[in-house]
Amino acid sequence: MTGRRLCVLGATALLLGCVRQPAPVPPRCPADAVLSAAAPAQGTPVEATPVGQCLATRAEAGDVAAALRLGDFYRTAPSTLPLIDRRGRQIHWYRLAADRGSAVGAWQAVQLIDINRDIQVPNDALAYLFVAIKAGIPEAGDYLVDQWQDGRVDPGKLWALRRWLARPGAIPEDQRRDIIAGLNAPADELEEE
């Protein structure tokens, strides 16, 4: 009987050891804290500063606003940051926000990822573009129609979006109609407008 209790206690201890403890919630960043471009101008990423580190920790823990704030910092920072990969950092923070449900992050990521107009729209950019369209960002719909008319989107990649667009009420009706018309119009019709 005692051996059986020891086995049960041992098994319980092993199970408790395997259970992941929840990650501690990162501290709140000061609301009035300003991200300074001084450190990046010297080649140090803003994430290495106290405010940047606080925002990065919160963003990695799931705070979409913190991820967007870091992405926006690198987007609007002066172009005198030659030692920092601004575009790479923007993509990282906007993707992180998009992966956590931010349509704004998705739209910003599309614009950063899809830079080569001579090839098909990359799959990840297309996926983020669909997120932005479904959230009702009007520029995203226009962008999709333009890329479709330029032959940069494979027709097979649009069937799910077309089915979604066929349902009224998903996005504003005028926006929905414009996207559908753009995807159905011959290329020469749009060039005349």
pLDDT in tens, 11-56: 554 445 544 554 555 678 776 778 888 887 777 888 988 999 999 9
Do 135 and 173 belong together in one domain? yes
Instruction: Kindly state the DSSP code that residue 33 receives in the 8-state scheme.
Output: -
User: Would 75 be classed as within a structural domain?
Assistant: yes
Kindly report, residue by residue over 158-183, the tens digit of the pLDDT: 999 999 999 988 899 999 999 999 99
Do 118 and 90 belong together in one domain? no
What range does the domain containing 124 cover?
109-187
- This prediction has a pTM of 0.79
Instruction: Of 133, 126, 71, 127, give the one whose Cα is nearest residue 97.
Output: 71
User: Would 193 be classed as within a structural domain?
Assistant: no
CA distance to 5, 32, 56, 106, 107, per residue, from 127 (Å):
54, 34, 24, 9, 10
User: Would 146 be classed as within a structural domain?
Assistant: yes
Pick the last residue of a domain from 83, 101, 119. 101
